[in-house]
Structure 1
Amino acid sequence: MSAPDLIHAGAPAAPWVRVRDVTPVPWRNGGGLTRPLWRGAQWTLSLADIGGPGPFSAFPGWDRTFLLAAGDGLGLRVGDDERPLRVGETTSFPGEAPTAVDTGTGRALNLMALRDRVRGSLLVRTVHGPWQRQPLPTSLRALVVLAGRLEVAGSTCGSLGDTLLVDHLARSDRVTGRHALLAEVHLEPRTRSPHHPLERTGSA
């Protein structure tokens, strides 16, 4: 799975990236489609459609965090590691590692971080009422709707993959969840040499 370009063409005028406005593009290996939600020089975020078994694209020098957002479960394989995933679970792996889906279909959030520069993570949270994370963590870059609705500045989004870019929020903007399941996107600068964990998996 891939982002087609690693340079973003320009910041949106509003804090939302609505998935309905994002044109699907082919994976780098041509095996499927993905919707690029953000493309930057050091990290990318996309929503991939997984229609069945097949290999992932290779991205040497990048680390990937993969969150199953919808579906009946995936049988993921990284090298010789089998990593079954249920909805809401994440796993991380080097972008150059041979990786494939052996079984299952679904939609997945795919965070890619440039290994020498940043460390990426996805944290799943349930929010009903005001989203209270003050002061905001300096690592937080975006909130992605997985289920429910998210409201900000009089605007509502509730489609899987709708993304709120935190850096584009005004100080006065109030963020409210309505039975919302969200993925927080975090990026932290690298301060030491990265390592490749054999397996790093978490769940909501």
Structure 2
Amino acid sequence: MRTLRAASYRRMPWKNGGGETIEMVVSPAGASFDSFDWRLSMAHVGAPGPFSLFPDIDRTLSVINGDGLTLTLPDRTVTLDRCAAPFAFPGDVAVDSTLTDGAIDDLNVMTRRSRCRHRVTRHGLTAPTRLALSGEIAVLIAIGGGVEIAAGSHLVMLGPKDTLVLDADDATTLTATPQGTADLFVVEIAFG
């Protein structure tokens, strides 16, 4: 079990150079865009434009701040806002974005299709909530406010945008208690 604080995240340019990403956690540690198995990041999107292409990558995008954005894919158009479910799409298709009304911040989860897969859920917490985890790795991210996580005998306080990484031998059932208004994103990663 590892707690990662928002102040420790690494800032780096987008793959296409169009902005900056905040890398929260990547596996293996220190991996590049071409060598990661899985990666979680946040980005500030201040202008419309194309997404970076990531061959062999599956992505899930969630709006965490701002009014929203519209994604245009080859086969459909999707509008996302802070209440929308996380949106999964292949990273190797052309995606163009437009902003609904001003800049947004997003949470981006990526896994290398040939090595692993992921699932992202958003939990709007208003009371203590029990969660059962099914992935080999689980990553929890607090957005908006703080969240207290009780996992087995461990009690962890996540501040806004802090992350908790649980491995397969950590607790698979936990209780999340919001400290004010908070969304908790749960990313479950399985290999094979």
**TM-score, length-normalised on structure 2?**
0.78
Q: Which structure 1 residue ranges, 5 or more long, are not aligned?
A: 1-13, 191-204
Take 1:23 and 1:187, find their aligned partners in 2: how far apart are those partners?
21
2:29 is equivalent to residue 29 of structure 1: no
Mapping 1:35-184, distance limit 5 Å: 35-40=22-27, 41-89=36-84, 90-104=86-100, 105-133=103-131, 136-152=133-149, 156-159=157-160, 161-167=161-167, 176-178=177-179, 179-184=181-186
Secondary structure at 1:59's aligned position in 2? coil
Q: Which structure 2 residue ranges, 5 or more long, are not aligned?
A: 28-35
1:75 to 1:17, Cα distance in 2 relative to 1, 3 A = same
Per-residue CA deviations over 1:41-81 (Å, capped at 9, x if unaligned) read: 42111011111101111110111111111110101112252
1:157 to 1:96, Cα distance in 2 relative to 1, 3 A = same
Aligned residues: 174
**Which residue identity is paired with 1:123?**
T
Contact 2:64-2:106 within 8 A present in 1 as well: yes
Secondary structure at 1:132's aligned position in 2? strand
2:181 is equivalent to residue 186 of structure 1: no
Secondary structure at 2:7's aligned position in 1? helix
Structure 1 residue 163 displacement after superposition: 1.0
**TM-score, length-normalised on structure 1?**
0.74
**Higher strand fraction (1 or 2):** 2
Structure 1 residue 157 displacement after superposition: 2.9
Structure 1 residue 155 displacement after superposition: 5.2
Contact 1:54-1:102 within 8 A present in 2 as well: yes
Take 2:90 and 2:121, find their aligned partners in 1: how far apart are those partners?
19
**Which residue identity is paired with 2:189?**
L
Runs of 4+ in 1 over 4 A off after TM superposition: 128-131, 152-155, 168-171
Take 2:129 and 2:169, find their aligned partners in 1: how far apart are those partners?
13
Take 1:177 and 1:62, find their aligned partners in 2: how far apart are those partners?
32
1:154 to 1:188, Cα distance in 2 relative to 1, 3 A = closer
Secondary structure at 2:62's aligned position in 1? strand
Contact 1:15-1:169 within 8 A present in 2 as well: no
1:130 to 1:167, Cα distance in 2 relative to 1, 3 A = farther
Identity %: 30
1:88 to 1:119, Cα distance in 2 relative to 1, 3 A = farther
